[in-house]
Amino acid sequence: MLNFNSSSSLPGRLTALIDAGMQAVRVKQAGRAYLGASRLGVACERALQYEYAQASVDPGRETEGRMLRIFERGHMVEDCMATWMRGAGFDLRTHNADGEQFGFSAADGRLQGHIDGVVTGGPDGFGYPCLWENKCLGAKSWRDLEKNRLAVSKPVYAAQVAIYQAYLELTEHPALFTAVNADTMEIYTELVPFDAALAQRMSDRAVKVITATEAGELLPRSFADQTYFECRMCAWQDRCWRAQ
């Protein structure tokens, strides 16, 4: 009988197999042929162009298996949070009759967004209907959110909430934003009033990115130094800095 516990390389071997399987599934998935509204708040408009154009990422910058597992964890925690909220008495709608996420499409389908859900009723102290968005964060990121609140701590998420509220006409009542601490399972909750100015800026930005990309115009970088943190983390760093 084979002894699979005899090798010290067993954990790495299993992880490598899981990573390869997850990456193979990801490769088979169709690319997103639209600009995702959830990404409009990122710092660099050129990075958004690369996303929209489905540009190949730099060699060696493909999403690693660990990150794919983190994404998967986020989906699972979102499902858990939805179950907990329903158990707490909230009438939370996350999918339509066809089992698809609620969302919107604009600019002939070139801008799309899919929301976590809409709360149509529930306990006192909340306005209904309202947008619901949930995130799963590591402890450090969660503590920063708790300290500084959404607009300051997580501007990308704040932009996501505003654009969703605008396009889905969920502006009357504040959005219900929740975040689960992946390490402690603490729950952060914030009611986010509609920020019309932010929503307009993000809508204008979408038009700018789509128009420039389709015209073959490369928008300026947001940073002057490629060693800046956000540049170093960008999947298109090499491509971007070769484009003079």
Does the pLDDT at position 159 exceed 60? Answer: yes
Six token digits for residue 192: 């986010």
- pTM for this one? 0.89
Question: Which pLDDT tens digit goes with each residue over 195-237?
Answer: 999 999 999 999 999 999 999 999 999 998 888 988 998 999 9
Question: Which pLDDT tens digit goes with each residue over 20-37?
Answer: 888 888 777 766 789 999
- pLDDT the model gives residue 2: 45
The three-class DSSP label of residue 68 is helix
Question: Which pLDDT tens digit goes with each residue over 34-65?
Answer: 999 999 999 999 999 999 999 988 887 777 78
